[in-house]
Amino acid sequence: MDPTGETWELILVDDGSTDGSTDIIRELAGQDPRVKPVIFARNFGHQIAVTAGLDYSRGDAVVIIDADLQDPPEVILDLMAKWREGYEVVYAIRTEREGESWFKLFTASLFYRIIYRITDVNIPLDAGDFRLLDRKVVNVLNQMRERHRFLRGMSVWVGFRQIGVPYRRAARFAGETKYPLKKMLKFASDAVTSFSYFPLQLATYLGFASAGLAIIAIPVVIIARLTGLQAFSGQATTLIAVLFLGGVQLISLGILGEYIGRLYDEAKGRPLYIVREAPEKQVDDPEIQKELQTTRRVR
């Protein structure tokens, strides 16, 4: 960053780590005043940690990057070049992904293509959280305080001028991924339910399909009984129909439950995160001021 001639800061968000990262971050902050530690009181999740970084950032542009060195820091210069051309969201597109299993690559590719098809925003294919955001975009995102966050979709939803920059993603430098299959599925669920009504529509489609099958089956069964066909005798048909319709109803209720659960989380109005220690931050938005005051009182 030094050769760019820009002033800069490095905000390190410690999302409740237990591997000694907290002490290392404090040590780095003591050696370099440009390093700003934001240490959570416990683990609040990846998307919330990124949100805290955006809240505490002060620059005219903000770059989101993971700390495992899979996203090369030197690509930041390429993102900045596009920002200087007037683009306000510059996302990095992964052309290669080293050190990842075929299952991870397949599911990631499938996820992005499904999201692209069913959501209301055109989320770029194969683009992660590694991106540059102009201050105007950051200010808008900081006003969006929803709990189940999908920042890749949110940064596209806000609009502004956007462009992608291709890069090759390296293998993990050290440690193991904190995104097992369970977290990946939850992340995908948050992405779909945040930007698409397709699951609710799918429940409706299943209901119409099952009702249509039942309507078609009524005359078929009547004709079969009148002609003496034994294929539909007994209770097998009734049991299959009941199980099928019951399954559709349970699926539909489960989908409705997901959306209702999210409404419940939003209604509780809890702060997105609680900070143990961080530099003081002055913000203009009254909602964020209120939330930061709450976290400071807790701290």
Is 41 found in the same domain as 150?
Answer: yes
Assign 102 a pLDDT band (cuts: 50, 70, 90).
low
Average of pLDDT values for 82-92? 90
| Displacement of CA 105 from its chain's centroid (Å) | 17
Is 190 found in the same domain as 116?
Answer: yes
Q: Report whether 16 contacts 41 (CB < 8 A).
A: yes
Strand 162-169 to 89-97 pairing: parallel
Q: What is the CATH number of the domain that holds 12?
A: 3.90.550
Average of pLDDT values for 14-33? 89
Q: Poorest-confidence range of 110-119, 218-227, 272-281? A: 272-281
Whether 28 has a pLDDT exceeding 70, the answer reads yes
C-alpha 298/C-alpha 296 separation (Å) is 5
State the amino acid at position 82 in one-letter form. Answer: K
Is 223 found in the same domain as 187?
Answer: no
Identify which has the larger pLDDT, 184 or 270: 184
Is 143 found in the same domain as 119?
Answer: yes
- The residue among 35, 111, 26, 99 whose CA lies nearest residue 68 is 99
Instruction: Give the 3-state secondary structure of residue 66.
Output: coil
Is 202 found in the same domain as 190?
Answer: no
Is 106 found in the same domain as 89?
Answer: yes
Residue 297: how many other CB atoms lie within 10 Å: 7
Whether 97 has a pLDDT exceeding 70, the answer reads no
Is 280 found in the same domain as 227?
Answer: no
Whether 75 has a pLDDT exceeding 60, the answer reads yes
284-288: Cβ within 8 A, 24+ apart: 285/139, 285/142, 285/143, 287/143, 287/145, 288/55, 288/142, 288/143, 288/145
Whether 12 has a pLDDT exceeding 90, the answer reads yes
Instruction: Give the 3-state secondary structure of residue 133.
Output: strand
Residue 3: how many other CB atoms lie within 10 Å: 6
Whether 133 has a pLDDT exceeding 90, the answer reads yes
Residue with tokens 């939330």: 291
Average of pLDDT values for 211-223? 71
Which residues on adjacent β-strands are paired with residue 164? 91
Is 227 found in the same domain as 113?
Answer: no
Instruction: Give the 3-state secondary structure of residue 149.
Output: coil
Is 203 found in the same domain as 175?
Answer: no
Residues 6+ apart with CB under 8 A from 262: 147, 148, 193
Please state the domain count of the chain. Answer: 2
Residue 171: how many other CB atoms lie within 10 Å: 11
In angstroms, what is the C-alpha Rg of the chain?
A: 25
**Which range, 63-67, 127-131, 281-285, is most confident?**
63-67
Average of pLDDT values for 34-43? 89
**Average model confidence (pLDDT) across the chain:** 77
Assign 298 a pLDDT band (cuts: 50, 70, 90).
very low
Average of pLDDT values for 156-168? 85
The parent domain of residue 228 ranges over 198-267
C-alpha 202/C-alpha 254 separation (Å) is 12
E strands present in 144-292: 162-169, 275-277
Assign 63 a pLDDT band (cuts: 50, 70, 90).
very high
Assign 62 a pLDDT band (cuts: 50, 70, 90).
very high
Is 97 found in the same domain as 128?
Answer: yes
pLDDT for 299: 45
Is 189 found in the same domain as 114?
Answer: yes
pLDDT for 283: 57
Is 192 found in the same domain as 202?
Answer: no
Q: Over the stretch 232-250, which tens digit does the pLDDT of each residue have?
A: 555 656 666 776 777 777 7
